[in-house]
Amino acid sequence: MEKNEKVRELFEMLYQRKEGFRYRFPTPHDAMLTIEQGERPIGQKDQVKLLDISLGGAKLSAPGLNIRYEQEPKHVSLSFLLNDKSFTIRGMMIWKQLYLGEYRYGIRFEAERYSQSELLNELKKCAKKEASC
């Protein structure tokens, strides 16, 4: 394992410890991402893959997609299904990283914009069955 990978892994472990519950999908999970300006979408919906998710945010990969990001958070909307329950959650893109030839993005959810209890219940179901939701 390269030094950079070890540092990245350690950083991710420390970051995850600050959250109560983070679910890592066994296989990347389909989702749609829309970039917004204010409350309006300003681009098309792009297919992305959820890598992990918590009540506070998500990490996703975007094969073939390079979203312009210049250190300023972008408003986004993330739509996905968990256990046949539909979620659309607004948030902010807070980081971007090139990893093995594809870009990964960090999204921080706006807590007042969705039901955290509904998301938590569905994530618990995923964790219990430990299968792709």
What is this structure's pTM?
0.75
Question: Quick one: DSSP state of residue 2?
Answer: -
Average pLDDT of 61-84? 84
| pLDDT above 70 as % of the chain | 74
Q: What tens digit of pLDDT does each residue of 111-124 get?
A: 776 788 899 889 88
Residue 48 confidence (pLDDT): 95
Residues 76 and 58 sit within 8 Å (Cβ to Cβ)? no
CATH number of the domain enclosing 44: 2.40.10.220
Give whole-number Cα distances, 115 to 33, 85, 96, 132, in Å: 19, 12, 26, 22
Q: Considering its fold, how many domains does the chain have in total?
A: 1
Boundaries of domain holding 95: 3-129
